[in-house]
């Protein structure tokens, strides 16, 4: 069969093979990005699903509007105001099949082959893969411990043609766990406004803050309608429902609606009903507090165990929230070697080079700390420390 040329650009089989290794059942895996399943509100969802089918089964099982369930869009707008101090009208929200779907839609909406996508260096692999299908060139913007460096962005925008949008994750970034400071957010918006560059602000983890204050979203600072905010229920409720949203100015949302119509007509009406009814009958904030309490415990434990076990010269980020942290191995210690040594010892992370669309680094590893129980976190870090020592 002769497939489209774009398929040649899709994720290399090498990475898929590596990820397969991390999925063996007896492995202590820090490689995925999965929420803790023991926290899913299974009983409550069983109850609301049953009641919902009894109450509105016929409408629920019928086709629905592309934009999404009106009462759920209203709840999302209220939540954005409450959690992110971000004022949006329900009409400025489109419900999507996970926020991942909107990453694909953004590629479809903005990118012709050869256009430039700007992203943080490093960035979320799933987004890079989604954009990649539209055959762009990626330009990586340098970052440091407090976020993207606005002066570097300004330089790039002053010298690079065909930049169509920038993709960023300012809160508890995947893969690094870093959060942009307020100062950086302000400067970033100045540069964006100067160049009129559309921004895709991806925020799946923002509510999972374990210390410090929630910082204003870029969307809340946007005065020109340039920012498109992506949100999701995956990390505050359950990812299997595939419920996300994009909040943007009405003219942009109506473009996404056109794309969604031809992609899948609408997000599952049933799943939207479940989230809506859950929020109506139960306290989602209380549920998020339970998630935060568990992940904070796991984050504190992994940070403490790393400090006790890892050899000098290994560095890691201190995430204030979210699901990930980022390791930097000592000079001369190859992440690829550590990865393979770890697999022999039945522990796994993801090597960092996958998160850079262009350049390769061989000193980093992404670690997820939300999914493993406490005893496995301790044992996994001990094994990893041994693997690092053997690769130094
Ligand atoms: N963006 C980022 C940064 C992510 O880490 C993820 C999931 N891991 C997504 C988007 C996609 O999330 P979902 O489609 O489940 O909403």
pLDDT, one tens digit per residue, over 132-168 is 999 999 999 999 999 999 999 999 999 999 999 999 9
Q: Does the CB atom of residue 126 touch ligand 1 within 6 A?
A: yes
For ligand 1, the distance from its centroid to the CA atom of residue 172, given in whole angstroms, is 12
Q: Where are the alpha helices (DSSP H) in 23-124?
A: 42-60, 70-84, 98-110
Look-up: residue for tokens 């100067």?
Answer: 194
Q: Does the CB atom of residue 244 touch ligand 1 within 6 A?
A: yes
**Which residue out of 34, 126, 268 has the highest number of ligand 1 atoms within 8 Å of its CB and is therefore the one to mutate?**
126
Residue ranges covered by each domain of the chain: 5-41+286-391, 42-281
| Confidence category of residue 175, pLDDT binned at 50, 70, 90 | very high
| Confidence category of residue 14, pLDDT binned at 50, 70, 90 | low
For ligand 1, the distance from its centroid to the CA atom of residue 239, given in whole angstroms, is 9
**Which CATH number describes the domain made up of 42-281?**
3.40.640.10
How far is 321 from 357, CA to CA, in rounded Å?
Answer: 25
**Average pLDDT, integer, range 205-217:** 95
* Residue 42: pLDDT over 70: yes
Nearest to 248 by CA among 124, 92, 377, 373: 92
**Which CATH number describes the domain made up of 5-41+286-391?**
3.90.1150.10
Q: Does the CB atom of residue 169 touch ligand 1 within 6 A?
A: yes
Q: What is the pLDDT of residues 227-268, one digit of tens each?
A: 999 999 999 999 999 999 999 999 999 999 999 999 999 999
Look-up: residue for tokens 């953004």?
Answer: 106
5-41+286-391 against 42-281: fold identical? no
| Confidence category of residue 13, pLDDT binned at 50, 70, 90 | low
Q: Does the CB atom of residue 202 touch ligand 1 within 6 A?
A: yes
Q: What is the pLDDT of residues 88-101, one digit of tens each?
A: 999 999 999 999 99
Determine if the pTM surpasses 0.90. Answer: yes
For ligand 1, the distance from its centroid to the CA atom of residue 322, given in whole angstroms, is 12
For ligand 1, the distance from its centroid to the CA atom of residue 100, given in whole angstroms, is 6
pLDDT above 90 covers a percentage of the chain that reads 90
Please give the C-alpha separations between residue 150 and each of 8, 146, 222, 319, 335, in angstroms, as whole numbers: 33, 11, 16, 21, 29
For ligand 1, the distance from its centroid to the CA atom of residue 202, given in whole angstroms, is 8
């Amino acid at each position: 069969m002769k497939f489209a040329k774009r398929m040649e650009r899709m994720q290399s089989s090498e990475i898929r093979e590596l990820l397969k290794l991390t999925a063996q059942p007896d492995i202590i895996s820090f490689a995925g990005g999965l929420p803790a399943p023991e926290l899913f509100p299974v009983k409550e969802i069983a109850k609301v699903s049953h009641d919902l089918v009894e109450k509105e089964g016929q409408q629920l099982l019928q086709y629905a509007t592309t934009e999404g369930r009106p009462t759920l869009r209203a709840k999302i707008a209220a939540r954005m105001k409450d959690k992110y101090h971000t004022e949006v009208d329900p009409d400025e929200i489109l419900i999507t099949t996970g926020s991942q779907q909107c990453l694909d839609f953004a590629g479809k909406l903005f990118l012709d082959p050869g256009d430039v996508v700007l992203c943080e260096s490093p960035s979320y692999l799933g987004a890079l893969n989604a954009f990649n299908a539209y055959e762009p060139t990626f330009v990586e913007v340098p970052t440091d411990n407090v976020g993207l460096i606005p002066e570097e962005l300004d330089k790039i925008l002053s010298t690079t043609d065909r930049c169509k949008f920038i993709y960023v994750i300012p809160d508890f970034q995947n893969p690094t766990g870093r959060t942009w400071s307020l100062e950086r957010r302000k400067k970033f918006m100045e540069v964006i406004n100067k160049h009129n560059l559309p921004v895709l602000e991806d925020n799946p983890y923002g509510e999972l803050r374990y210390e410090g204050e929630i910082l204003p979203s870029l969307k809340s600072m946007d005065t020109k309608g340039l920012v498109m905010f992506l949100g999701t229920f995956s990390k505050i409720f359950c990812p299997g429902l595939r419920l996300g949203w994009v909040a943007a100015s009405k003219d942009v949302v109506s473009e996404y609606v056109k794309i969604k119509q031809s992609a899948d007509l609408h997000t599952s009406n049933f799943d939207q009903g479940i989230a809506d009814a859950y929020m109506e009958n139960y306290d989602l904030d209380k549920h998020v507090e339970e998630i935060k309490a568990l992940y904070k415990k796991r984050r504190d434990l992994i940070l403490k165990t790393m400090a006790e076990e890892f050899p000098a010269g290994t560095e890691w980020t201190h995430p204030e929230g979210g699901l990930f942290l980022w390791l930097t191995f000592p000079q001369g210690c190859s992440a690829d070697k550590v990865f393979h040594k770890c697999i022999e010892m039945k522990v796994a992370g993801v090597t960092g080079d996958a998160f850079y669309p262009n350049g390769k680094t061989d000193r980093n590893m992404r670690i997820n700390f939300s999914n493993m129980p406490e005893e496995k976190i301790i044992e996994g870090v001990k094994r990893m420390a041994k693997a690092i020592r053997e690769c130094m």
